[in-house]
């Protein structure tokens, strides 16, 4: 390469347009703004996702209009479900609180909150029944995190306004997910269960720099062991200076989501949220 060619190359590299072009090649996300829907939509797996085991993951996204603004997002996890429960006297009336029973779809639509509802990918044995319910937590978590990231990267979701909601086994999952990436979530709502292993043993929260907010609740006549776990988990978070709230004896008189408290839940998760709550 001659001196004249070297000089031309140097001038090209120094050119601002060349630099900008190079950045867009290196960082494709800079080329495209996130989608701001102009109407309410219900989307089935709008961005394909596979977990680390190469298993395709599915989800539903209830997406309100978001013109010229970002919106918060709730990620909801139901409890354990199994067709076999209908044969169990103790479980035949337990539905697992699918999102359709929680009132969250309409609640989020009215308040312009995105609602992400993942689908389980793996099964396990629960009281001798083949069941779906987020266990093993380690296998389920990777795909769910990729769903959350995919939705945030594509749509105008507030990156500091992401909340994890769950009941029973779904509640346990909220703790596991938040512990893995504590800076990703503003707060979690743990309904009718605490932070445990797959086998039900209480786990200690991590003392981390980012401390997401924690709201724990249980219903009247909930299962005694789940009430005990909820209290213990609440105390464990308080010891590590997390902002936490415990709501006791909510309706209904069973192990189900309290859909009459959705506004109350929303107010509390914002109050204790690490990004939205009052600073200590």
Q: pLDDT by residue (tens digit) across 184-216?
A: 999 999 999 999 999 999 999 999 999 999 999
Residue 18's alpha-carbon distances to 4, 7, 29, 190, 264, in angstroms, are: 19, 15, 18, 50, 53
pLDDT of residue 207: 97
pLDDT of residue 199: 92
pLDDT of residue 91: 87
Residues 6+ apart with CB under 8 A from 277: 187, 213, 243, 270, 271
Average confidence score pLDDT of the chain: 90
pLDDT of residue 11: 55
Tokens in use for 3? 């001196």
Residue 35's alpha-carbon distances to 64, 91, 127, 211, in angstroms, are: 12, 43, 44, 29
At residue 94, φ and ψ (nearest 5 deg) are -95, 120
**Residue 74 — very low, low, confident or very high, per pLDDT cuts 50/70/90?**
very high
Query: Is it the case that residue 113 has pLDDT exceeding 80?
Result: yes
pLDDT of residue 93: 85
Query: Is it the case that residue 2 has pLDDT exceeding 70?
Result: no
**Residue 67 — very low, low, confident or very high, per pLDDT cuts 50/70/90?**
confident
Would the pTM count as exceeding 0.85?
yes
The DSSP string of 40-67 is -EEEESSS-EE-TT--EE-EEEEE---T
Query: Is it the case that residue 228 has pLDDT exceeding 90?
Result: yes
Q: Could you tell me the maximum CA-CA distance found in the chain, to the nearest angstrom?
A: 88
d(CA 39, CA 89): 45
Tell me the CA end-to-end span of the chain in Å, nearest whole number: 63
Rg (CA), the chain: 22
Measured on CA atoms in the order 146, 149, 153, 155, is the torsion positive or negative? positive
**Residue 25 — very low, low, confident or very high, per pLDDT cuts 50/70/90?**
very low
Q: Which helix (H) or strand (E) holds 226?
A: helix 224-239
pLDDT of residue 37: 86
1 versus 158: the higher-pLDDT residue is 158
112 versus 17: the higher-pLDDT residue is 112
Query: Is it the case that residue 26 has pLDDT exceeding 80?
Result: no
Tokens in use for 201? 């043993």
Query: Is it the case that residue 111 has pLDDT exceeding 60?
Result: yes
For residues 162 and 75, is the Cβ–Cβ distance under 8 A?
yes
18 versus 199: the higher-pLDDT residue is 199
């Amino acid at each position: 390469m001659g001196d004249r060619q070297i000089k031309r190359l140097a001038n090209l590299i120094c050119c601002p347009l060349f630099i900008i072009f190079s950045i867009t090649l290196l960082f494709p996300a800079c080329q495209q703004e996130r989608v701001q829907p102009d109407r309410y939509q219900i989307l089935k797996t709008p961005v394909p996702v596979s977990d680390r085991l190469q298993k395709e993951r599915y989800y539903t996204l209830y997406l309100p209009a978001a013109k010229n603004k970002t919106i918060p997002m709730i990620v909801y996890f139901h409890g354990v479900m199994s067709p076999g429960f209908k044969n169990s006297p103790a479980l035949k009336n337990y539905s697992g609180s699918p999102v359709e029973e929680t009132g969250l779809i309409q609640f989020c639509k009215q308040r312009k909150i995105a609602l992400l509802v993942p689908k389980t990918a793996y099964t396990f044995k629960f009281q001798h029944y083949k069941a779906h319910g987020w266990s093993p937590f380690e296998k389920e978590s990777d795909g769910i995190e990729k769903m959350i990231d995919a939705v945030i990267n594509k749509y105008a979701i507030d990156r500091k306004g992401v909340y994890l909601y769950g009941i029973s086994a779904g509640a346990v999952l909220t703790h596991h997910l938040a512990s893995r990436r504590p800076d990703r979530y503003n707060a979690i709502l743990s309904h009718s269960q605490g932070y445990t292993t797959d086998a039900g043993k209480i786990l200690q929260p991590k003392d981390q720099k980012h401390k997401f907010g924690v709201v724990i609740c249980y219903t009247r006549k909930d299962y005694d062991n789940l009430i005990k776990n909820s209290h213990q988990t609440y105390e464990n978070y308080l010891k590590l200076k997390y902002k936490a709230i415990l709501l006791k004896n909510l309706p209904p008189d069973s192990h189900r989501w309290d859909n009459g408290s959705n506004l109350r839940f929303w107010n509390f998760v914002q109050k204790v949220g690490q990004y939205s709550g009052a600073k200590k």
